A and B are shown apart, each in its own frame.
Chain A
């Protein structure tokens, strides 16, 4: 299986996000496979947390639906095993530090390795708190995805030193959620990153419309979360055609930019 870095080396890549267990585990398997078939180059699997501090109301509600279904960390790994029977699309987890801490850092990373989940995004683990986790992630060959914002410039060398897989550029201040218009700030952040590193860059937070897909030509990938979660919220048990249509349109818009 290619690494995240290799997968995202070219431009115009698409990273799709969904919360495991929203609306239920069977549909998560179906939707991940469908999104991969529709052209998602990487799928980000959210492990629900009761208090997702970096997320807006859309993803918070999805987390709550998953938790109301009684989703456990063990069930998430079992679901990944089912996904792996149908697709080898690169997978990345997104969750909060406490979920991984309570499972055990090494135990969690071992499960990621066993289920071929290549990367992990922890929005509440800044570089200052990665001392214990990062060496373990490297030991298990997993990428701890670093986040970069427009406030991070002084911290970029230190952040990029810890980076592998790809770098997640936060397109705008605030929390996750769809936005009508997005600033072009991410392009400036990418230019700053490029002074130090050629690691692939994905831009996320607020990307939800075809216009946004064309807005970041220097990024290797766009990351779409809330817009996909909204589709699943609107069509919980029959989202496949809507997801396929949305991802196809976004991919086409990305290609049209070049």
Chain B
């Protein structure tokens, strides 16, 4: 329960899972810590990153936006250019490679927007493993294209009809499936949430984002960014974007969460703004919940940020005042989606558009010699139909 316990980040983290899963999670932790220090594993992963996933991703100076906003220079860390179109592949290749080395033959995963499911289905195809994806029924409807994509890759997609039928319910269903088939199955958890070691492991594999960005900033501009912005649902691209800047106290770290229809409404997913400490999905962290401890239904236009909790290290970074977390509404995110498309010719994921929206507020308050990094966590092709619906445009699909 203290910072001395390596399973915790301050008061957050831990392993609040059924006894049935403890041996499985312990096996994963042992394997992760082994392969972290295994040169052959590292070489194999690096090769996959470079030759399969298209790393390093670009750090792109968004000159049009920077000039138009009239403040700090904006640099986009282009995770949208990765194979499968999002940062999710970084973590999936790492975990799937561990699973393969452990002798597991089946990968399971939850997915919200579908990006993590697509990445997991991709790795399963590459490594010749069986794959089942759990996705809330509401999300399979919102992201039908990604469902079909996963099926084309050979995965079975289960629409989860329990609870609120979104990401949190998909996580529940995936953990439940794992309890039924521990021996041959590895749960590829997609965000920096869940029981130890998942938050640490996901951060480890996603840290490639900030490891590259740090070098790229030094090479391109001769110095570090003044602020790093990333959207936060569970917080995997954000923790990966922050990781190698945490010790640089002059670099502001800002997580951007989904306010949905507003933080003062009950249609929100702004966990940091509105949540309280609780225990759910295997971890102690911040959650949107009732005073009795019932987990709240949450809402965001973004299926990937539609989550009632946040990774334990984010809760800890905020307690330390090392990172701050700000809410962005659906309307602001959609406006940012349009803005970056028209300014830079980039269709960004609606999740990433939340981070762009905050950059649009922040940049004008800063000087032109200052610089902001925004992690563009994914591409927005998947969102085009939903954005059209949001605006009331009929695409005759």
* A interface with B by C-beta (< 8 Å): 49-51, 53-54, 56-57, 60, 67, 72-73, 97-99, 101-103, 123-129, 131-132, 146-149, 151-152, 154-155, 159, 170, 173-175
Contacts and interface: CB of A to CB of B under 8 A. Distances in A.
B323 interface: no
B295 A51 contact: yes
B366 interface: no
Nearest to B164: A50
Contacts of A124: 16-18, 279, 282
B278 A53 contact: no
Nearest to B169: A51
A98 B18 contact: no
B179 A67 contact: no
Contact of A128 (B22, B168, B172): B22
A102 B276 CA distance: 10
Interface core residue of A50, A57, A73, A155 (most chain B CB under 10 Å)? A50
B1 A154 contact: no
Contacts of B291: 102
Nearest to A97: B279
A146 B175 CA distance: 20
Contacts of A97: 16, 279
A159 B18 CA distance: 13
With most chain B CB atoms within 10 A of its CB, the pick from A73, A103, A152, A174 is: A174
A175 B294 contact: no
B293 interface: yes
B18 A147 contact: yes
22 contacts: A49-B293, A51-B163, A51-B172, A51-B280, A53-B175, A54-B18, A73-B293, A97-B279, A98-B279, A98-B295, A99-B292, A103-B292, A103-B293, A124-B17, A127-B19, A128-B7, A149-B19, A151-B23, A173-B179, A174-B180, A175-B176, A175-B179
Contact of A102 (B22, B175, B180, B292): B292
Given A101-B278, A129-B15, A147-B18, 16 more contacts: A50-B295, A51-B172, A72-B292, A97-B16, A98-B289, A98-B295, A103-B293, A124-B282, A126-B17, A128-B22, A152-B22, A152-B23, A154-B23, A155-B23, A173-B20, A175-B179
Contact of B19 (A56, A98, A159, A174): A159
Interface string B1-26: 10000010000001111111011100
- Residue among A49, A56, A72, A151 with the most chain B CB within 10 A? A151
B182 interface: yes
A149 B21 CA distance: 10
B22 A126 contact: yes
A183 to B, nearest CB: 13
A49 B294 CA distance: 6
B278 A129 contact: no
B162 A101 contact: no
B364 to A, nearest CB: 41
B18 A53 contact: yes
B293 A102 contact: yes
Interface string B168-184: 11001001100111100
Contacts of A132: 1
A128 to B, nearest CB: 5
Contacts of B278: 98, 101-102
A152 B295 contact: no
Contact of A174 (B16, B162, B176): B176
B19 A147 contact: yes
Contacts of A101: 278-279, 293
Contact of B20 (A102, A127, A128, A170): A170
A97 B277 CA distance: 12
Contacts of B17: 53, 124, 126
A99 to B, nearest CB: 5
Contacts of A159: 19
Given A51-B163, A124-B279, A126-B15, A149 B20 contact: yes
Contacts of B19: 123, 126-127, 146-149, 152, 155, 159, 170
B179 to A, nearest CB: 5
Contact of B179 (A126, A152, A155, A174): A174
B95 to A, nearest CB: 21
B289 A102 contact: yes
Contact of A51 (B15, B168, B292): B168
A123 B17 CA distance: 7
Contacts of A175: 176, 179-180
A178 to B, nearest CB: 15
A208 to B, nearest CB: 18
Contacts of A56: 176
A114 to B, nearest CB: 19
Contacts of A148: 19
A131 B18 contact: no
A102 B18 CA distance: 19
The 7 closest A-B pairs by CB, nearest first: A102-B293, A174-B180, A98-B293, A50-B294, A147-B19, A151-B23, A98-B279
B85 to A, nearest CB: 30
A89 B291 CA distance: 30
A98 B162 contact: no
A176 B357 CA distance: 44
A84 to B, nearest CB: 22
A174 to B, nearest CB: 4
Given A49-B294, A147-B18, A60 B162 contact: yes
A152 B24 CA distance: 10
Contacts of B24: 151
A88 B176 CA distance: 35
A237 B289 CA distance: 31
* A60, A101, A152, most chain B CB atoms within 10 A: A101
Nearest to A71: B292
A151 B20 CA distance: 7
Nearest to B296: A50
B15 to A, nearest CB: 5
Given A51-B172, A170-B20, A128 B293 contact: no
